[in-house]
Chain A
Amino acid sequence: MFSSFMSSINDFVVRFANVNGTGSASANLLFAKSIFRMGVPIAPKNIFPSNIQGLPTWYEVRVSEKGYLGRRAGIDLMVSVNPQSMKKDIESVRPGGYFLYDSTKPLHPEFIREDIHYIGVPLMKICNDEYTDPRQKQLFKNIVYVGALAVLLDIEFAVLETLLAEQFKGKEKLVAPNVKALAIGGDYIRKHFTFPLEFKVERRDLVGDSILIDGNSAAGLGAVYGGASVVSWYPITPSTSLVSAFEEYANELRIDEETGKNNFAIVQAEDELAAIGMAIGANWNGARSFTATSGPGVSLMSEFLGLAYYAEIPVVLVDVQRAGPSTGMPTRTQQSDVLSAAYASHGDTKQVLLFPSTPKECFDMMADSFDLAEQLQTPVIMLTDLDLGMNDNMSKPFQWDDSRKYKRGKVLNAEELENVKTTWGRYLDIDGDGVPYRTLPGTHPTSGAYFTRGTSHNEYAAYSEDSDTYVRIMNRLLLKLETAKTLVPKPEFYLSEKQSEIGMVFFGTTTYSACEALDILKSQGITCDAMRLKAFPFNHEVKDFMNRYERIFVVEQNRDAQLRSLLVNELDLHPNKLIKVLNFDGTPITADFISQSILQTLALA
């Protein structure tokens, strides 16, 4: 009656169904990290509601020997500790899969499926018998199921014990009861079930020196290293933890040793408009400053982004994208702010965008974004998403070159102002690269002062409604964008040995699944060259790639194929050659979805 299961090592998906706010997160992380410590790649994901306590929440861990870090559909093992979502959870187990549940009370007959296995562990009863304190009963229930999983999946107990010892460093007396809870769970499985399951973990050496961190923390740390000293923000999921991370790292790394004072300032603004306004004010005055938000915040910040674009003020904004439009699905992922960010604000504007795919890139691009913004004197928007920002991602470790100097761009100091031979003009393009020289308030008693304005202005920052002047300045801003193309990161290519007939384009978190899809296609005899975009404006490498193929699949996570529109619009491409592959249901895109979409299109052709 069960569909037969190929035994598999280090290749499965476990999902935990929990109740928000019950302490399950740390137990689930313990589970995930133990596999990571055994040298096996993992991709954990939180699937959570916009709620603080009480609603269902899920945690999913994909274990992949091949290092595929994208989401995979189909649950091999469901750990159910939430009766609220049980019906749906049982339905989501794939045929032949396993359902581990709290068997303190018998399962209702309607929950019985003929094609899956049930593993009943009386979690509540075990905890009621072992512990008296109600909070302990709750918390240790989570550890008991981790112990049960360890036996079912052959996870080394010693690794779990080490992790617990690290977790409770300084609170050593908590280690023993946790270890005991693990053992209780493990023993129960040993007594009542055959173990391990046909899919399990085996120690490997596949993670090397990788780290496990969420993209928001990585970006927050990158901002500390990149020299941000003024941070303004307004809370919004899923970007809030980015500023929290900056604050935590700054409190650790940026307190002046001599004075004990802060070498940074953080202000929680009254709204997103104020948050970007403060960041612009600080950058105007020569401090590196950023704010972080999500889609609704970008809408609110658009007016200010136009000012910064036109008045040529550096500023860094991180948009951790979530599912829109409007409030949308605040705790679900999407890549749907590409157009609103690229053309943020009224009038003719084009903004510089960065698309990181991994925590390492969140760190690097965040630090680089301040260089870019100051070199170009314009806003730089880093577009991440909830999937990258709020989930632990396996990543290459962070590196910093200690000889690196911040690129502060063209800022004249008092001496340089003295040496300016002709009249200095704030918006005068001396170097022919579209980037003028700026000055900071307080630099010189008699030269370099100017009036920053969002109204039309001439090269000397004076108000002007002269058409020729206006056109000249607007065209120079386009020239500056050409300079931007030489400074923003180039795309990454995934090319087959012989040029294939079809191409694929993607960016950000789509990368994991897109690369896996390339392997799936290859296994079916279809070669496909691919390009991962890292930035906008598109540099000539992007254009060359787009011109090289007859048909290009543009894979992205929004309904309206926004990246495709941007490519068509900016590179004058024929729309027919760009084929949409779109996932926008709020869950991370999967390799199966991408490869199936492409195979279907090719079959129809």
Chain B
Amino acid sequence: MSYIKPKFHHPLLPKNNLGYTRKDYEGSISTLCAGCGHDSISAAIVEACFALNVEPHKVAKLSGIGCSSKTPAYFLQNSHGFNSVHGRMPSVATGANLANCDLVYLGVSGDGDSASIGMGQFVHVVRRNLNMVYIVMNNGCYGLTKGQDSATADRGSISKGGDATLFEGIDLCSLAIELGATFVAQSFSGDKSQLVPLIEAAMSHRGFALINVLSPCVTFNNNPGSTKSYTYVREHNEALGNIDFVPVGNEITTTYNEGESVQVTMHDGSKLRLNKIDNQWDPQDRLSIISALKTAQQKHEILTGLLYVDKDSVPLHVKLNTTETPLNQLQEDKLCPGNNRLQEINVGLR
């Protein structure tokens, strides 16, 4: 069951530029376990949409099946949602996006949904560079069926029952970068200060934006020995640096030392500012992040932050040369060639 929250709220709640309060971006009450990382991510989505001044009804939220895929009910109540079939959210999002290029497409998936049953669709939505935000709520296990290992569980990670995972874990960020993804970030559900600007940046990116969020499962995968527990992720989290997201028209206020920061201007004019810890890494250099990820893997570190961004990203609609008007708004005059043309075609078939 999902519960409807009361609609009344304090009259002095802060409003964004569009006049919406945070409450306008919330959803129904979560039915996930208390302490679930996914709820923190939902809260970060609400915060990011509020801060970015997104019209709630101009967002379409899509998901597959699993605990993560239930969350779109828990944020953006004024957005249309689509809880599709297991592992197939990318295809539904692709069709929806092709039908109307004017909305923000927010896909939510899990590690089972993306890295196992939906791996095929995940791979192909990346390489098509569909203009969407794709958040993976990654907890290394199948929560809704009581804790089986997922394909992102690291080899050797200990399950609640005490067994070590036998197989190599799939790293979705490395994979996405290999596939030519144009925006790849990694974060932790417990680090809201990092996650919110990453979601804002992803929503401003014109193309496919992956955020792989480590989001511990408090019920089935939060035990000692698990590499997806709160304790483990906190201890091994290696943030690549602070990230500031500066929306269009806002001034840059933070200052960093020369050579330690990178500024990326997004397609919509907003800016990303990153101060870097590792000088070997440049978020616009695909090779440097591949190397950084491999190095971190060897040191059992979890790199978080914006890993890679290609500001020259060419999204699917541009590749397909579709018209600026959303296709779902085209009427008979644009769609139907009419009987005269048809009679000409008939003549050619005799």
- For B128, the chain A residues whose CB sits under 8 A away are 267
- For A288, the chain B residues whose CB sits under 8 A away are 335
- For B317, the chain A residues whose CB sits under 8 A away are 265
A262-B322, A265-B327 given as contacts; is B332 within 8 A of A285 (CB)? Answer: no
Contact A227 B323 (CB under 8 A): no
Residue among B90, B99, B334, B343 with most chain A CB within 10 A:
B99
Does A137 sit at the interface, judged by CB under 8 A? no
A-B CB contacts (within 8 Å), total count? 232
Contact B85 A212 (CB under 8 A): no
Which B303-350 residues sit within 8 Å CB-CB of chain A? 316-317, 320-324, 327-328, 330, 332, 334-339, 341-343, 345-346, 349-350
- For A464, the chain B residues whose CB sits under 8 A away are 1
- Give the residue of A254, A266, A269, A280 whose beta carbon is less than 8 angstroms from that of B320: A266
Please measure, in the bound complex, the distance between the C-alpha atom of A261 and the C-alpha atom of B317, giving whole angstroms.
11
A265-B327, A286-B100 given as contacts; is B95 within 8 A of A444 (CB)? Answer: no
A261-B323, A449-B57 given as contacts; is B79 within 8 A of A227 (CB)? Answer: no
Chain A interface size, under 10 / 10 to 19 / 20 to 34 / 35 or more = 35 or more
A230 to chain B, nearest CB (A): 5
A304's closest neighbor in chain B, by CB?
Answer: B85
- For A253, the chain B residues whose CB sits under 8 A away are 337, 341
- Give the residue of B55, B123, B321, B335 whose beta carbon is less than 8 angstroms from that of A229: B335
Contact B103 A451 (CB under 8 A): no
Contact A211 B349 (CB under 8 A): yes
Which B106-160 residues sit within 8 Å CB-CB of chain A? 120-121, 123-124, 128
- Give the residue of B1, B83, B99, B339 whose beta carbon is less than 8 angstroms from that of A454: B83
- For B83, the chain A residues whose CB sits under 8 A away are 451-455
Does B60 sit at the interface, judged by CB under 8 A? yes
Q: Kindly specify which of A191-199, A271-279, A565-573, A574-582 makes contact with the partner chain.
A: A271-279
Please measure, in the bound complex, the distance between the C-alpha atom of A454 and the C-alpha atom of B94, giving whole angstroms.
18
A279 to chain B, nearest CB (A): 6
A225-B337, A280-B95, A451-B72 given as contacts; is B57 within 8 A of A274 (CB)? Answer: no
- For B15, the chain A residues whose CB sits under 8 A away are none
Does B32 sit at the interface, judged by CB under 8 A? no
B81's closest neighbor in chain A, by CB?
Answer: A451
Contact A274 B345 (CB under 8 A): no
Which A410-442 residues sit within 8 Å CB-CB of chain B? 439-442
Please measure, in the bound complex, the distance between the C-alpha atom of A401 and the C-alpha atom of B323, giving whole angstroms.
26
- Give the residue of B56, B124, B322 whose beta carbon is less than 8 angstroms from that of A265: B322
- For A232, the chain B residues whose CB sits under 8 A away are 91, 94-95
Q: Kindly specify which of A62-70, A381-389, A392-400 makes contact with the partner chain.
A: A392-400
Does B82 sit at the interface, judged by CB under 8 A? yes
- Give the residue of A276, A282, A397, A446 whose beta carbon is less than 8 angstroms from that of B98: A282
Contact B98 A225 (CB under 8 A): no
B111 to chain A, nearest CB (A): 20
Does B93 sit at the interface, judged by CB under 8 A? yes
Does B234 sit at the interface, judged by CB under 8 A? no
A280-B92, A282-B98, A443-B57 given as contacts; is B336 within 8 A of A452 (CB)? Answer: no
- For A183, the chain B residues whose CB sits under 8 A away are none
Does B270 sit at the interface, judged by CB under 8 A? no
Does B88 sit at the interface, judged by CB under 8 A? yes
Does B261 sit at the interface, judged by CB under 8 A? no
Does A128 sit at the interface, judged by CB under 8 A? no
Contact A398 B342 (CB under 8 A): yes
- For A401, the chain B residues whose CB sits under 8 A away are 339
Does A138 sit at the interface, judged by CB under 8 A? no
- For B80, the chain A residues whose CB sits under 8 A away are 439-442, 449-452
A271-B120, A398-B346, A441-B57 given as contacts; is B93 within 8 A of A265 (CB)? Answer: no
Contact with A along B51-67 (1 / 0, CB 8 A): 00001111010100000
Does B2 sit at the interface, judged by CB under 8 A? yes
Please measure, in the bound complex, the distance between the C-alpha atom of A259 and the C-alpha atom of B58, giving whole angstroms.
26
Please measure, in the bound complex, the distance between the C-alpha atom of A439 and the C-alpha atom of B60, giving whole angstroms.
13
Residue among B84, B96, B316, B332 with most chain A CB within 10 A:
B96
A173 to chain B, nearest CB (A): 23
6 A-B residue pairs with CB within 8 Å: A37-B350, A227-B336, A286-B99, A399-B342, A441-B60, A442-B58
Q: List the 8 closest A-B pairs by CB distance, nearest first.
A: A281-B95, A277-B91, A287-B99, A278-B95, A286-B328, A282-B95, A441-B80, A211-B349
B residues near A, CB below 8 A? Answer: 1-2, 55-58, 60, 62, 72-73, 77-85, 88, 90-100, 102-103, 120-121, 123-124, 128, 316-317, 320-324, 327-328, 330, 332, 334-339, 341-343, 345-346, 349-350
